[in-house]
Chains A and B, each alone.
Chain A
Amino acid sequence: MGFLDNSGDIILDAVLTDAGRARLARGDCSFNIKKFALGDDEIDYGLYNKAHPSGSQYYDLEILQTPVLEAFTNNTSAMNSKLITMPSPNEYFLPVIRLHNEGAYAMNSDTNSFVVVVNEETADFCIGANTTGVQPLALPFGILNGFDPATAVRGDGIRADQGIDNNDRPPTTPGGLPGYLTETAYFLQMDNRLGSPRLANGASGGTYSYLDDDQIASYFLSMPPAAAQAAELNPALYVANIENTTATGPIAGVRGTRVWFTIKAGPELADSDSLFQRIGTQVASGEADITAQRTLQTYWYIDSTVRLTGVNTGYRIDIPIRYVRKY
C-alpha cells in the first residue's frame, strides 16, 4: 500500500474489505454496517514529546507528520489499534493484557512460542520417548497437546492476565480496577485451518462467531455473570475474575480478568502433512531444537498467531503459536 497524499486537504480513502465484498456477494443482506470504530495503527505515541522546548503546541508535531498508508482491504490487517471512549477524562493508568510467560504457562523457550503438537507421534517425539503409540506422560512447558487436549497430558495451556501493569497501583489498591476498565469478554482470532481454542480442561467452549474469507475465525470469550467471582484457576472457564488475586503474575498492579485456554489442532494438520507442505517449514534432523528432551528427528512446523483483544478497551496481544508435526 502506498502513502496517501498529505500535501493538501485531508482526504479519506475508503474501501470495502475482502470480508465486506464477500458478504455483499452473498446477496443475503448480511452486508449490514451497524457501527464504526476509529483506529490509529500508524501512530507511535512515543513521538509525543512532552519536553519539547518550544511548548505544548509542538508536543505532537512529529505525530501529526506521520504519513498514513492507503486503506487495507484485508479485514484482519486494518484497525489493529482502536480509539477508546471512556466515561472519565481523568484516567492516568490504563489496563493492558500480559501473557503468562513463566513456569508452567511459559512459552517454549526454544521457539519463543507455544508449540502445539498435532498428533501423538509428534508428542512422543517432543518428550523424547520416540515410541509411537505410547501415551506421553507429560509434555514439557510451552508444549500443548493439540491432538487430544482433553487428556491429562494436555499441557498447561495459555494464560493472559488483564490489569494495570504498574507498581504504583498495587493489587491491594482500594477499589481495584474500575468496572469500566475490566474486560469481561475477549475476542480471540486464529487461523481456522490450523486450530481452534479449547477450554483449559480440553472441552469445547463453543464455535466461532464468524469465519472470514481468509479462514480467520473469531471467537467471543466471555465471563459468565455467575462466575464473576469464580476461582481463578477454573479450567472450565475461558475468562475468570482475578481482581482479588495477589499472587505474582504478569500484571504488577491491580488485576481485572484472566483468559485461559488451550488449542486443538485442526484435522487437516493432524491427518496429513499437506498443509505443512504448503505453508510450513521443514526442519531437518539435528538442525534445530524443539525441546531439550527431543530426539533429533525431521519435523514440519507452521508459525501462526492467536490474537486476543479486550472487548472493552480494545487492547490486544498477539500470541505466537507453532504447530509441529513429526516428519
Chain B
Amino acid sequence: MPTSTFKALNPDDIASTRTMLHEAIPVTGTIVSGTYSDNNIKTFAHGMFQSVYDYPYLSSSANHIFDITAGFSTRASSLSASSTVQTSKKVNIYNQMAQILVGFDETGSVRRFDQDGNLSNGTKIDDAFFINFTRLLTKDEIKKGSFQMTVYTGSTIDNPGFPLTIQDANVDKYLTNSPAGEYTLLHTSSTGGDNTSDIPVGLLYYQAGIAVLTASVFSRGFQAPETNGTTRRRGNYFGTVSGAVGASSLSSMSVSGAFSGSTIDTIAGGFRNRLKNIQFNNTTELNSTIYFCRVNHNEFNYSSNATYLSESIIRVKNTAADIPVSYVTRVGLYSEANELVATACLSEPLRKDSNNEFTIRVRLDY
C-alpha cells in the first residue's frame, strides 16, 4: 500500500438519487392588503399586473412572492364587449396566459381556458383572475392536493366576510393536456348555492405555478359556511381598490362591473381586498449524487496536520508500536487533477485509528 492522502472512488462508490422536498408556503391575506399599507405592492406604468412582495419592495429584504392580473377573451360571452377601460390589455393578458397555459388549437388559434379541462368542448372561462406565483415560492412545482385559497365573497366592501375556500382537493385527478405541464381543476370547499353540481371555479397549473380563477367566483352564490351561523350567500360582490399607495379608496362594485370599467390595477386591488389567505406546499426536485467515502481500518490513520508532529515525532504515540490515531473533520472530493471541487464538514471530530473503519456518505444536491 503506497503512502497517499487520496483514495480513488470506484463506480460502486457513487450513486444517484432523486428526492422530492416539500415546504409549506402560507400567505396570509393581511400581507397583500394592509400589513404594509400596500408598500409591498408594486404597480407598473404599463398597468398590466401588480406584484406582491412579502415586505415593502423598496427594501432589499423584500421577496417577490406573486403577481395578480386579470383579463378576458374576445368572445361575445366575455366581458370584453362591455369593457371600456384597458380592454386591449385585458385581452392581451388573457391571450398571453392562454397561449402559454392552454396552447393552440389545430388552426393555430389560441385556445381558451376550459372549465373542466376538456378543451374540445364545454364551458370556457372567459373572464379570469390570474395569480402567478414566483419560482421562489413554487420552486419546481406546487405539490398536488396541497393548494388552498380563501377569498371573501360577502357584500361588505371594506370588511368583506363569507370566506369561500378554493382548493385542489382531488389529488388523484390532474390533467396533462396543457403545454405548461400538469394542472387540475379548482373547486370550492363545498357545493351549495348556485354551485350545487360542484362546478370548477378555476385551474391550477402545478409546474407553471399559476392559478386561474374565474371572475364569476365572486358573482355566483356559493355556500360559504361562517361562524355567525349564516351558511349561504348569494350575490355579485367584489369591490375595487384604486388610488395611490396609502391613499387608496374602496369602491362598491360587482365583479362584472370591475372587469368592464376598471383598470387591471384596480381589479387586482379589489382581489387583494378579497383574499383571506393562500397556502400550499411547494416541491423541489433534488437530484443527488451520493459519494460513499469508504475508509478502511488501515487507511487515513496518520495526519499531515502541522500539530501532528513535534520534532518529526507523532504526538499521539508514545512508542512506535502504539496505534496511530487521527481525527476527521472534513471530507474533500477531488477531480482527477486534484482540484477540490466539493467539500464537507462533520459536525464533530471523528476518531480514526486502525481499530475502526467507516463509510462517510457525502451527498451533493443539484
Chain A residues, CB < 8 A from B323: 89
A13 — which chain B residues lie within 8 A by C-beta?
A: 344-345, 347
Counting CB contacts under 8 A, is A6 at the interface?
yes
Interface hub of A23, A311, A314 (most chain B Cβ within 10 A): A314
Number of B interface residues, CB 8 Å? Answer: 74
| Per-position 1/0 for A293-316, Cβ under 8 A of B | 000000000000000001111111
Q: Quick one: given A12-B346, A36-B7, A36-B331, are A165 and B341 in contact (CB under 8 Å)?
A: no
Asked whether, in the complex, the Cβ of A39 is within 8 Å of the Cβ of B332, the reply is yes
Known contacts A12-B346, A41-B330, A180-B2; A187/B321 CB under 8 A: no
**Which A residues are in CB contact (< 8 Å) with B306?**
81
Tell me whether A222 is interfacial, beta carbon within 8 Å.
Answer: no
A45 close to B352 (CB less than 8 A):
no
Q: Specify which of B8, B308, B312, B333 lies most central, judged by the most chain A CB atoms within 10 Å of its CB.
A: B312
Binds B, one of A26-34, A140-148, A239-247: A26-34
> Which of the residues A15, A50, A63, A87 comes within 8 Å of B342, measured between beta carbons?
A15
Partner of A45, one of B8, B291, B303, B363: B303
Partner of B300, one of A38, A209, A310: A38
B309/A96 in contact, CB under 8 A: yes
The prevalent SS among residues of B at the interface is strand
Cβ of A79 and Cβ of B362 under 8 Å apart? no
Q: In the bound complex, do residue A12 and residue B361 qualify as a contact, i.e. CB atoms below 8 Å apart?
A: yes
A292 within 8 A of B: no
Cβ distance A87 to chain B, nearest Cβ, rounded Å: 4
A83 interface contact, C-beta 8 A = yes
Q: Contact between B309 and A94 (Cβ–Cβ < 8 Å)?
A: yes
Q: Can you name 19 A-B pairs with beta carbons within 8 Å?
A: A10-B350, A11-B346, A13-B344, A14-B342, A14-B343, A33-B335, A39-B328, A40-B303, A40-B329, A43-B303, A50-B316, A60-B351, A75-B340, A83-B352, A84-B5, A89-B298, A94-B312, A180-B2, A180-B3
Q: Which residues of A contact B310 (CB under 8 A)?
A: 46
Chain A facing B: main interface SS: loop
Whether A60 touches B325, Cβ cut-off 8 Å, given contacts A10-B346, A38-B300, A78-B330, is: yes
Determine whether the beta carbon of B304 is less than 8 Å from that of A81.
Answer: yes
Instruction: Bin the interface of chain A by size.
Output: 35 or more
Chain B residue numbers with a CB within 8 Å of A92 are 313-314, 317, 319-320
Q: Are A39 and B330 in contact (CB under 8 A)?
A: yes
Q: In the complex, which residue of chain B has the Cβ closest to the Cβ of A16?
A: B342
How close is B329's CB to chain A, nearest CB, in angstroms? 5
Q: Report whether A253 and B3 are in contact in the complex, using a CB–CB cutoff of 8 Å.
A: no
Q: Is A17's beta carbon under 8 Å from chain B?
A: yes
Q: Are B333 and A36 in contact (CB under 8 A)?
A: yes
- One digit per residue, 1 when the CB lies within 8 angstroms of any chain B CB and 0 when it does not, for chain A 201-242 equals 000000001101000001000000000000000000000000
Report chain A residues within 8 Å CB of B331. Answer: 12, 14, 36-39
In the complex the two chains form, is B336's CB within 8 Å of A32's CB? yes
Instruction: Give every chain B residue within 8 A of A35 (Cβ-Cβ).
Output: 6-9, 333-334, 336, 338
B295 in contact (CB, < 8 A):
yes
CB-CB nearest in chain A for B332: A79
Give the most central of B309, B323, B340: most A CB within 10 Å.
B340
Contact check, A20 vs B330: say whether CB atoms are below 8 A apart: no
Q: Is A102 interfacial (CB-CB < 8 Å)? A: no
Interface residues of B (CB under 8 A from A): 1-9, 14, 289, 291, 293, 295, 298-321, 323-352, 354, 360-364
CA gap between A67 and B347 in the complex, in Å = 7
The answer to whether residues A12 and B5 also contact, given A85-B301, A93-B312 and a CB cut-off of 8 A, is: no
Query: Are B316 and A14 in contact, CB atoms less than 8 angstroms apart?
Result: no
B359 CB → nearest A CB, Å: 11
Q: Are B347 and A165 in contact (CB under 8 A)?
A: no
Q: How far is the CA of A165 from the CA of B316 in the complex (A)?
A: 17
A218 to B3, CA, bound (A): 21
User: Which A residues from 36 to 74 make CB contacts under 8 A with B?
Assistant: 36-46, 48, 50, 59-60, 63-64, 66-73
Which B residues touch A76, using CB under 8 A? 340
Cβ of A288 within 8 Å of any chain B Cβ, yes or no, is no
CB distance B343 to A82 under 8 Å? no
Q: Which residues of A sit under 8 angstroms from B362, Cβ to Cβ?
A: 12, 14, 36
Q: Indicate whether A86 reaches chain B with its CB closer than 8 angstroms.
A: yes
**Cβ of B349: which chain A residues have Cβ within 8 Å of it?**
40, 42-43, 63-64, 66, 68
Contact between A60 and B327, CB atoms less than 8 A apart: yes
Q: Is the CB of B344 within 8 A of A12?
A: yes
Contact status B300-A68, CB under 8 Å: no
A residues in contact with B332, CB < 8 Å: 36-39, 78-79, 82
